[in-house]
Amino acid sequence: MSEITYHGIDIGLLEGGEDLVELLLEAFEESETPTLQDDDVLVVSSKVVSLAEERIVELDRVPVSPGAERIADVTGIDAREVELTLRESTILGVIPVAEIVPDRLESYAVSPEAARDALETLPALLVTNWNGRLCTNAGIDLSNSPEGTATLLPTDPNASARRLREEIRERAGADVAIVIADSEVSHRGGSVDVAIGCAGIDPVDSNFGATDLFGSPKVGGVDLLADELAAGAAVLSGQAAERRPVVLVRGVDYDRNGGIDDDVDLVRAGFWPTLKRTAQVKLAEHLPIPRR
């Protein structure tokens, strides 16, 4: 792996139901982007996959349940978005963004007024279990969607990635890997792109226990390769009006495989042991330990 390059691809604006592979191959023909080759990786925004698969909902046609109304009253989130979140996922908790980091977000905004407008639109985030994955608001997005609509995540991102990979191989003769990326909230108070589905690439670079420069086994080495590619591609694809929802990554050394595993079972299994050990450590900080 001597050099890795990233190339952003503009496939135009989607309204819903388009042939994503056709748009992609046309964009390659019309741009100065290198021709697709075997072993390339295409990082594709979940938004364009959802639009192509017509995972679009007209907000005015969403009947709101009493439960969604109550959650909307507590959180300030649009009741229709809450209703869609309830349909798509299980709500595990709430992050009151407008209460926690308004000043910090204002310092990062294009203007204080823009920050306030954004927080009024979405003052809180719902932490959800969506198809076995932890995400906010079930991945439902009102931005960069046709006016008056919300875009839902692809029903099965791994299956979507497999379809894209197979169709590209059939039509272009290139054996590429696909990573479907979506933006998620980071513990640092911002957002970062992560992989929610993939095909043709092992999403984890498995080197646990490999030796370091001095011959000692490392606890690390389980590198989330698909997430790293998604985050790197986001520098080009952006989050607003950049119009580069597909990024070609060339030069990556990866194993062929595919599929992003569920993470909720791992989180659930680790919750109580983590809570127990944390309590023990905090007690150890403040209580004397009897000498034997």
Q: Identify the domain containing residue 206 by its residue range.
A: 5-263
- Report the alpha-carbon distance of residue 17 to residue 218 in Å, rounded: 47
- Report the alpha-carbon distance of residue 58 to residue 21 in Å, rounded: 25
- Tens digits of pLDDT across the chain (292 residues): 569 999 999 988 888 899 999 999 999 888 777 789 999 999 999 999 999 999 999 999 999 999 999 999 999 999 999 999 999 999 999 988 888 766 766 677 777 777 677 777 778 999 999 988 889 999 998 877 778 899 999 999 999 999 999 999 999 999 999 999 999 887 676 788 999 999 999 998 876 667 777 777 776 667 889 999 999 999 988 665 557 899 999 999 999 988 888 776 666 677 677 777 877 787 777 766 565 5
- Domain assignment present for 83: yes
CATH code at position 237 = 3.30.1330.100
- Domain assignment present for 155: yes
- Domain assignment present for 291: no
Name residues whose C-beta falls within 8 Å of residue 18's C-beta, 6 or more positions apart in sequence.
51, 52
Contact 249, 41 (CB under 8 A): yes
Per-residue confidence (pLDDT) for residue 119, from 0 to 100: 73
What 3-state class would DSSP assign to 280?
helix
- Domain assignment present for 272: no
Contact 248, 34 (CB under 8 A): yes
Dihedral sign computed on CA atoms, order 255, 260, 266, 267 = positive
Neighbouring C-beta atoms of residue 80, cutoff 10 Å:
21
Specify the pTM. Answer: 0.86
- Domain assignment present for 74: yes
- Domain assignment present for 47: yes
Per-residue confidence (pLDDT) for residue 182, from 0 to 100: 93
The number of domains in the chain is: 1
Per-residue confidence (pLDDT) for residue 66, from 0 to 100: 95
- Domain assignment present for 283: no
Query: Of 52, 42, 47, nearest to 7 (Cα)?
Result: 42
- Report the alpha-carbon distance of residue 234 to residue 182 in Å, rounded: 9
- Domain assignment present for 77: yes
Q: Residue 246 forms beta bridges with which residues?
A: 9, 44
